[in-house]
Structure 1
Amino acid sequence: MQRRQLIQAAAASVVASPFAVSAQTFPARPIKLMIGFSPGGPTDITMRQLAENASKILGQPVIIENRAGAGGTLAAVALQNAQPDGYTLAQLPLGIFRLPYTTKINWHPVNDIAYVLNVTGYAFGMVVPADSPLKTWTHFVGWAKANPGKLSYASTGTLSSPHLTTELIAQHAGIQLQHVPYKGSAELNQALLGGHVMAGSDSTGWTPLVQAGKLRILNTWGDKRLPTFPDVPTLKELGIPVVQNSPFGFGAPKGTPPAIVKRLHDGFKKAMEEPSYVQALAKYDMLPNYMSSDGYRKFAEETFKREKALIDRLGLAKPA
């Protein structure tokens, strides 16, 4: 009798928790990691290295899928339709925390995502073609003031961090700029080199082009100067009280079993510690920036509140 009760209890446990067995054997097939930007940019290149490292640790391929557009938020949007089994992950750029304030959506960026871990953060700056007459930030501001609304700049998408930060910079500088959105760093750089825009606001995907003498940096947006470009001033040094570094990590669909989230967390955390990942980030003046699952969720809650203040300040909130 006692044995029968034990068997029934075990069976009930499996029925109540359909992922109980799979959590123990996870992963048993490839994992898809969606990122919000196009191939060839700093996000794509660095996350492919991290995925390669994680594949070896988890024992299954981690396959990158690019979901470019909408300021990097499409991967997180697609996550809402994925099964909560751990086999679909998405990069979570800061832009997702602005969505409810600017767009009508039927999901919540904090409550409807299982946060896995934060892995790094972008370094940003503004660049111009090497032959541009706007040789310094002083030239840039002077030209913009003399030609209101005519100085065009590219970003990696409407409502992306580069877009909103540049608008905030323009407010502080007392200038009006013309925004031209692109799907990622690769397209943005092509537009700059082709003369389609006068400047570019982006993460450090422009680094190789600056080092090759094709682009020039006017400023960077971190708290300190970038190690690769120690002669380039920060916004703070130019009298603009703005710092932007935009941490990002990965999330899984809401309802993903905690044991699977932990397995993913542990695998990617170990992958972050590999020298190859640190070296890939260093090419773009990025650093590992680890947050645990709980820490990352708390960061998401705080960021969600903070982004509302930025949207309100720029007057970009959707109509009530």
Structure 2
Amino acid sequence: MNDRESRAVPMTRRLLVLSGAATIAMPAIARAQGRYPDRPIQLVVPWPAGGSADVQLRSIGDLAGRAIGQPVVIQNRPGAGGTLGPLSVAQQGRPDGYTLTQMHLSVLRRPWMMRTPQWDPVADFTHIIGMTGWLFGCAVKADSPFQTWPQMIAYARANPGKLTFTTSGIGTTNHLAMETIQEKDGVQLTHVPYRGSNEAVTAVLAGQVDMVCDSSTWAPFVENNQMRALSVWTAERVRRFPTVPTLVELGYDLTVTSPYGVSGPKGMDEGVVRVLHDVMKDALMTPENTEVRSRFDMPLVYQDTQTYRAFIAERTEYEKAMVRRLNLSLDG
């Protein structure tokens, strides 16, 4: 071996060592499947297009897709109080990182409203990241006789069952909040559920329902004087609507923002989870997505993977207890 060859051997060994270290550092999914992602990712939004969650998640998908090099395709799959889409992902999606869904509190609650639960919110999903929540509130049409929340409650107390309100579905967070309010005030309102907040607002504007109690799809109509907000459900008054009282101010020990995130089917590789978490976190923190959240007054509720999984497990037990306390059932 000449001097030139002897000098090359240590260099070759160093390259082999570095190559081996890099291989060890790569996520298992990269070794098993090659580069992830190598095709489009589907993100199921369980509401009709145009609502606040749909717009926010489309923004996340667009930003994440550009960063990751593959499109994130939004598929709207509404129904069953916002649980049809997540349930389809849990039951039919492959745990390869190419089928994801919005995870929200109704998915944690609805199984316990059934005689025989059809899914386990903790065990049947791989929870990836917590993102944001909603601005909830109640609004009536501008020509409604109700100028204030107390006027509405007084009418409901004097006319049991006559006043109608709409939400985005049975067993949703906003429906549950309204059940809690009725229980506290001893009033009876008639619930008219729709598949999404857009449809709910349209029904109120058309005079088919008296009041919408849902996420902030109603906000632009309040701003242009087509609707009137009677309450918001945040901890403090909303800057866009400084004259609208919170539920706490109205005498209820109730703050509702319903934080949500993104999950996939159970059994996902943790390397893929890390990739998805990181790219969606970056998207969440961009000025573009911040502007979308600000437009709908959606609070930032970022949770990393481990924190979000702990939140899901704890909140599932809370929702189960709440359903039993209010005796809510989908079985009639």
Q: 1:100 aligns with which of 108, 111, 126?
A: 111
The alignment status of 1:83 with 2:130, answered yes or no, reads no
Q: Which runs of 5+ in 2 are unaligned?
A: 1-19, 21-26
Which residue in 2 is equivalent to 1:42?
Answer: 52
Amino acid at match of 1:30: P
Deviation string 1:90-140 (CA, Å, 9 cap, x unpaired) is 001100111221123343111111111011111100110011001101110
Structure 1 contact 126–218 (Cα < 8 Å) conserved: yes
Counterpart mapping for 1:95-244 below 5 A: 95-103=106-114, 104-244=116-256
Q: Which runs of 4+ in 1 moved over 6 A?
A: none
Structure 1 contact 124–204 (Cα < 8 Å) conserved: yes
Q: CA deviation at 1:46?
A: 1.4
Structure 2 contact 79–85 (Cα < 8 Å) conserved: no
Structure 2 contact 43–101 (Cα < 8 Å) conserved: yes
Structure 2 contact 28–271 (Cα < 8 Å) conserved: no
Q: What TM-score does the superposition give when structure 1 sets the normalisation length?
A: 0.92
Deviation string 1:60-110 (CA, Å, 9 cap, x unpaired) is 100111111111111210112101100000001100111221123343111
Amino acid at match of 1:74: L
Deviation string 1:138-196 (CA, Å, 9 cap, x unpaired) is 11011101110110000000001111111111111221000000000111111000000
> Is the partner of 1:25 in helix, strand or coil?
coil
Structure 1 residues 225, 117: closer, same or farther in 2, change over 3 A?
Answer: same
| Distance of 2:78 and 2:62 partners within structure 1 | 21
| Distance of 2:299 and 2:35 partners within structure 1 | 32
Q: CA deviation at 1:317?
A: 4.5
| Distance of 1:292 and 1:23 partners within structure 2 | 25
| Distance of 1:299 and 1:93 partners within structure 2 | 12
Aligned-residue CA RMSD (Å)? 1.8
- How many pairs does the alignment contain? 305
Q: What TM-score does the superposition give when structure 2 sets the normalisation length?
A: 0.88
The alignment status of 1:57 with 2:67, answered yes or no, reads yes
Give 1 or 2 for the bigger CA radius of gyration: 2
> Is the partner of 2:328 in helix, strand or coil?
coil
